[in-house]
């Protein structure tokens, strides 16, 4: 056990740990007044696992040692919890870095050999900085996972399949149509065709701001997939400017039924499926 490990373990022993944690929380509050309610409990658990790791022979000047796994897992949990609650990566890292001041003070008070102080300070700084960096990296990874999951959920919510009539489904498209969204639309629509036994699907692009070659290709792929399932497709929402764009780009929609409005598309779908709607005369 090296000198730095001995010094940190001495500072974290049960009789001194409360004072270290109190100074730690005080220092953290100077940088972040809105600490979570669990800050004291989190600090106590971190200090306990820090002492445990050092006692089991973990390297005091490196947080990459596998013997820090218990403390690393705790920091992972704290980072994920903070990300889920909408906290910033800086708040969590600053909380960890605030531990540096009380530990450095303890090392300075307990080190009779002043010549060893620079090495001890450097080793402790490296350890705490490593903990903070590990926390920030984990926080960022957790935030990216949350954003990715939310994007998938938004894609599903923004592409609902609506049953308009017996045997007729509709997908109202709103916003930009890209490859990922087209894939979600295709999978959801095809599964709905299977589940409901529908013969016709209406893709309404009234809410799609622009139609370019890529968007048209996505639409044509979706139409082809629907036809392979034994159903047919109508595209509605073809506004004048979109019609001009399609003609200008030379996009071939031959064989694909198109209508200006969703109402027109529904009327055509009812006609194709043998329905006839009549207004009741009083």
Alpha-carbon gap, residue 143 to 138, rounded angstroms: 9
Alpha-carbon gap, residue 212 to 223, rounded angstroms: 17
Residue 236 pLDDT: 92
Say what angle helices 14-31 and 3-11 make with each other, to 10 degrees. Answer: 80
Say what the pTM is.
0.56
Query: Do residues 92 and 47 both lie within one domain?
Result: yes
Residue 59 pLDDT: 83
| Sequence-distant (≥ 6) Cβ neighbours of residue 51 within 8 angstroms | 8, 9, 12, 13, 17
Domain for residue 61, yes or no?
A: yes
Domain for residue 267, yes or no?
A: yes
> pLDDT averaged over consecutive 10-residue blocks of the chain (282 residues)?
74 82 89 78 90 86 85 88 74 86 82 66 85 87 80 64 89 77 80 90 86 79 88 90 82 82 90 81 70
Residue 156 pLDDT: 56
Query: Do residues 141 and 186 both lie within one domain?
Result: no
Residue 154 pLDDT: 61
Alpha-carbon gap, residue 92 to 82, rounded angstroms: 7
Residue 282 pLDDT: 66
Work out the angle at residue 163's Cα, subtended by the Cα atoms of residues 160 and 165, and round it to the nearest 5 degrees: 155
Domain for residue 256, yes or no?
A: yes
Q: State how far Cα 125 lies from the chain centre.
A: 32
What the block records as the tokens of 280 is 């009741």
Domain end: 150, 173, 205, which one? 150
Q: Residue 167 belongs to what domain range?
A: 162-272
């Amino acid at each position: 056990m090296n000198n730095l490990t001995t010094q940190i373990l001495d500072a974290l022993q049960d009789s001194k740990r409360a004072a270290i944690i109190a100074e730690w929380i005080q220092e953290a509050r100077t940088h972040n007044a809105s600490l979570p309610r669990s800050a004291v409990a989190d600090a106590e658990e971190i200090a306990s696992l820090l002492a445990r790791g050092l006692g089991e022979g973990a390297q005091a000047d490196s947080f990459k040692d596998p013997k820090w796994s218990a403390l690393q897992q705790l920091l992972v949990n704290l980072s994920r919890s903070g990300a889920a609650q909408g906290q910033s990566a800086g708040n969590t890292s600053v909380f960890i870095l605030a531990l540096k001041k009380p530990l450095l003070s303890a090392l300075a008070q307990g080190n009779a050999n002043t010549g060893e102080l620079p090495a001890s300070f450097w080793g402790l700084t490296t350890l705490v900085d490593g903990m903070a960096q590990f926390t920030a990296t984990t926080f960022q990874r957790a935030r990216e996972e949350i954003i990715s999951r939310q994007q998938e959920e938004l894609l599903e919510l923004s592409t609902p399949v609506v049953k308009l009539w017996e045997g007729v489904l509709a997908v109202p498209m709103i916003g930009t149509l890209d490859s990922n969204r087209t894939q979600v639309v295709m999978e959801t629509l095809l599964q709905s065709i299977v589940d409901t036994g529908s013969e016709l699907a209406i893709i309404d692009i009234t809410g799609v701001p622009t139609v370019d070659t890529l968007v048209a290709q996505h639409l044509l792929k979706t139409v082809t997939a629907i036809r392979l399932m034994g159903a047919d497709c109508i595209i509605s929402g073809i506004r004048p400017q979109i019609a001009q764009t399609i003609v200008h780009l030379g996009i071939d929609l031959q064989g694909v039924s198109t209508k200006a409005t969703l109402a027109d598309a529904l009327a055509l779908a009812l006609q194709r499926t043998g329905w006839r709607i009549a207004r009741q005369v009083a």
